[in-house]
Chains A and B, each alone.
Chain A
């Protein structure tokens, strides 16, 4: 078992590096990028997200957040109405008024994101200009940035990419003589950040920062002496901009599962010139513990056939984990977008011949799914109950974003998310 992690991905008989991909277009059953606000506003604790959009936008976030009004949320929608569209009201004046009221109400806010939506993009409301205008007005107490989470430009997790990309130009410049720094990019649960931070420290990498930071006032510096590694696969634009700032990306599989976490840590260690024995010394215990914890789910999941509808771009790393560490068979792996470069290491590790699809025509895909009768389907909330009613077990994909799944200690939790629907079916006698 532990031999898997030692197996070099290249040069094996497996791999989907050049595999053909089914590209379809039609109805996409996916969220737009605004949805990322649901976790980003919890992650950056002094940031506020103001969507400039329509009632649909407000309703989407409310529905995706499950109407959790336990605390006053740090997001809201400036709903445009007829007066804004017909030119009766100057949209910029209106926006200034709304933002002023908001900042008066929430003096604890240090960073405000104006988030563009489909309607604001279509009417070409220039939110970046508005952001710099408002930033000047509220400086230094509040910084105002903008990005687009619109459905015409972004799918679900691409909203996080757009948000982090908006932060990149504001990161402080790293001094030229700075100690080499590692930047871990992508929102992670705090427990995961802490675990990965401890492992990196054990490797002897002390200067580790995370993007997004927990507080907007604590932005990590970036520059030529920065190496960064993605913790999430959907951050193409953020990666591009970081490279533009002189930082260099460490290519690696993503830290999902025992194997993924080891390869992710090893890539960092290699970039820091840490010898293999030291690295093994740090990773061996966690990896072994993760593998042991996976045995129970493996017994249940090995040989079971799984079908992924496109959702978060986590599909390919997840499929790699499920195939290699839990022995599942991949019927189809759908992803909203396939970034070959960022996923090169992942694709190389997928079983050869895996059916990959990009984009979506949901009705055609449902036809393929029904014909294949998989044991488990990973899909969004709109499809889950209808498929269950047809007798097909499902795992709702959104839980994979809202649960800590990365790192050694979460590997079994991640497997458990896939095992639970099957365990439940086995239990029920109704």
Chain B
């Protein structure tokens, strides 16, 4: 039993719904109690879909439990076929139906429906949404591409000369973070390279399209969280290699172009020479100097977290002070990435633990999910959302991919705009005691929105007393305390670096066994850490 306030991932059947809703011509019959239909609103409200998800819920109630819930399932499945006439169906249980063990797959078989029915086994008490989306997609790919598999051991025929290379674009689902725009951007990029997209799936694909997957020369796995399993199977059965590079940021996109070009036998040089994005120049322009070394904390699904760390570090000159993910399936990748930035990886789906870790890291920018946006709001730290779980704001009206060269432009804008602008930051430092520059004043370009909850600065006490928020720092001879003048001087330092200044000064004092921090100590520490 796990105490949970907020969850990063939904239950397994929501993962299956994300695949079913992304596709066309597929219907999902879900054995579920009344109330589970709430999941529809994720799609119709958050993503503003103009159709109901293609899901029929059997809606059993307590009084059905003693009776025949299996019959209820059969009626629902038969009616759903008659009404919606899909090309294919998937059937399965939600968490409650799993407990009553009606076997939707077996029941559907007895109905003899005239379309393929793919049973799903998505253990609701062990697994979560993303794994289930991957499993559902894998089962569908197996079911529809499987019959077209060449005999084992068959060598993939060479592409005829003059025929353009083609690939499948795998992993985009409904409710995905910018999946809609990423598919468009990467399709365009592949087109410039001279590579066709054979099938993009699940988003926009029909079951009959999945049957054609084997025709592509290779696979582009846009989102390993949802397409990793299917791609591994396709590699084994059809001998299709997968592109490993993630096209997020300039570096990631260039690596992607190089890898695709090698697989497709095309020349990447023209695109790599051009790099059609403004990010490199914007980042080199003098205005961006103030971005240097900004402390950024990153927490997201594994794909976006790892990619964001690279972009933050190499392309914006930030300092990564925290990196983590809720995707336990990809924990190893995130641990490796964390090593590159010298930070402790945070692998958890406990929202409270994430909140504590962010607060302790004193970042100047948080890159996270909608959950971290709320944490950052509470801490008064700017934040940009880079990953699911999503919110209605993550489906912007404009074209806003995260991937490819246009995606890099989007990243630059959305990560830099929440920050205080360079000159504004300097003015705040110079005129610390200006009556309009109080700590609660938000950056002017952000309007009068967020009230910042400050790191607690204790009012200057008449006699030296321990600073309230640093009980852990104890000098050899007793606790380190702040002299009133030093505390006042600390207050003149802008709030967004004050936490760092406080911690550094206390560390400096602690290391030297100083009992009282004076103004002199403060500046000595500043000089020490500047070296």
Contacts and interface: CB of A to CB of B under 8 A. Distances in A.
A386 B37 CA distance: 15
Interface in B123-137: 123-126, 128
A60 B62 contact: no
A380 B6 CA distance: 23
A359 to B, nearest CB: 10
B327 interface: no
Interface string B368-396: 00110011011000000000010100000
Bin the interface of chain A by size. 35 or more
A101 B57 contact: no
A89 B60 contact: no
B95 A56 contact: yes
Interface residues of B, number: 58
B34 A55 contact: no
A87 B40 CA distance: 33
B116 interface: no
Contacts of B527: none
Give the most central of A77, A81, A382: most B CB within 10 Å: A382
A119 B99 contact: yes
A95 interface: yes
A81 B35 contact: no
Interface in A378-396: 380-386, 388-389
A144 to B, nearest CB: 15
Contacts of A69: 6, 371, 374-375, 378
Nearest to A398: B41
A79 B125 CA distance: 9
Interface string A381-419: 111111011000000000000000000000000000000
Given A152-B34, A363-B83, A383 B59 contact: no
B41 A85 contact: no
Nearest to A381: B41
B86 interface: no
Given A56-B95, A152-B60, A34 B35 contact: yes
B59 A54 contact: no
B120 to A, nearest CB: 15
B42 interface: yes
Contacts of B49: 385-386
Contact of A56 (B36, B58, B389): B36
A148 to B, nearest CB: 9
Nearest to B45: A381
Nearest to A86: B125
Given A32-B34, A76-B3, A152-B65, A56 B124 contact: yes
B126 A63 contact: no
B94 interface: yes
Interface string B479-495: 00000000000000000
Interface string A217-232: 0000000000000000
19 contacts: A27-B59, A27-B76, A31-B35, A52-B1, A56-B13, A67-B391, A78-B1, A81-B125, A89-B1, A97-B1, A102-B3, A150-B35, A151-B33, A152-B34, A152-B65, A153-B61, A153-B62, A382-B40, A385-B50
Interface of A: 26-35, 52, 54-56, 58-60, 62-64, 67, 69-70, 72-73, 76-82, 84-85, 89, 91, 94-95, 97-98, 101-102, 118-119, 121-123, 150-153, 155, 363, 380-386, 388-389
Interface of B: 1-7, 9-11, 13-14, 33-42, 44-45, 48-52, 56-62, 65, 76, 79, 83, 94-96, 99-100, 123-126, 128, 370-371, 374-375, 377-378, 389, 391
Given A77-B3, A79-B1, A79-B4, 7 more contacts: A26-B76, A58-B7, A76-B4, A78-B4, A122-B96, A152-B60, A382-B38
